[in-house]
Amino acid sequence: MKILLVGYGKMGQVIDTIARQRGHDVVGVVDVTGDLTIANAPPADVAIEFTHPESAVENIRSCAARNLPVVVGTTGWIHRLPEVKALTAKNDATVFYSSNFSLGVNIFFKLNEHLARLMNGLPGYDISIDETHHTQKKDAPSGTAITLAEGIIKNHLQKKKWRLDEAETPTDLVIRSHRVDPVPGTHVVSYESVIDSIEIRHTAHSREGFATGAVLVAEWILDKKGLLTMDDFLQIG
């Protein structure tokens, strides 16, 4: 499989290594430090995009224009999802996006939703999320924390929307963001009452889990069309 890497930061470099270990060819790297663009890059079977929130949608658009399937790992652009849905449909494109490609994190998402359903209706518990990442992570809260919050809001009637750092009403779900080097990523969902505390936690020990997941998805989407997510890939309840 021929892979075009869009972005060559820490994640892009790990993806490069994992892809080559799995027998794939990295035919080009589109990065701010070079002259290569998505439009003039060598032919590829798939692009893997890990850049910045402000450039992700334009990178998706450029891949769609080339009929190049793209795996998008950049977070912080989800408010533009309707735009991406429209351009995917218009171009009959293949776009796969996820806030986190770690298989363990996606199991954690399901566990989080199940716990929210179990806790729904139990009085006296307040819910919060803490996420900790390295200082080079630009967006806050993390896309993973937002996905966790959305899973809680969908399954727990007490919380209606998430807010960063501080609640304005009891129905707000607080996400606290911490930036500490060299943490790849830790997420903690807490249920606190005067009687006890319940926590579930996911801690990433390295970037290899994210990178491996992204490459596995790239292998999977080659014969797919449309806007796809980890739910499509994993097919778990």
Topology adopted by domain 103-204:
Dihydrodipicolinate Reductase; domain 2 (3.30.360)
pLDDT tens digits, residue range 197-218?
999 999 999 889 999 999 999 9
* Alpha helices (H) in 22-142, listed in sequence order: 53-65, 81-90, 103-119
pLDDT at 236: 67
Contact status, residue 160 vs residue 171, Cβ threshold 8 Å: yes
Question: Could you tell me which residue, 34 or 203, shows the higher pLDDT?
Answer: 203
Tokens found for residue 146: 């937002």
Catalytic residue ranges: 133, 137
Q: What is 2-97+208-234's CATH superfamily?
A: NAD(P)-binding Rossmann-like Domain (3.40.50.720)
| Interval 54-103: pLDDT, tens | 999 999 999 999 999 999 999 989 999 999 999 999 999 999 999 899 99
Q: How far apart are CA 132 and CA 168, in angstroms?
A: 23
* pTM assigned to the model: 0.84
Q: What is the mean pLDDT of the chain?
A: 95
Left (φ > 0), alpha (ψ -120 to 50) or beta: where does 3 sit? beta
For residue 39, pLDDT over 60 is answered with yes
Distance CA 23, CA 59 (A): 25
In this predicted model, what pLDDT tens digit does every residue of 48-59 receive, in sequence order?
999 999 999 999
Instruction: Report the half-sphere exposure of 142 (CA within 13 A, side-chain side).
Output: 26
Q: In 100-140, where does DSSP find H-type helix?
A: 103-119
Map tokens 């776009």 to a residue.
95
Q: Which residue has the tokens 């716990």?
A: 115
The per-residue pLDDT for 136 is 84
Q: Delimit the domains of the chain by residue range.
A: 2-97+208-234, 103-204
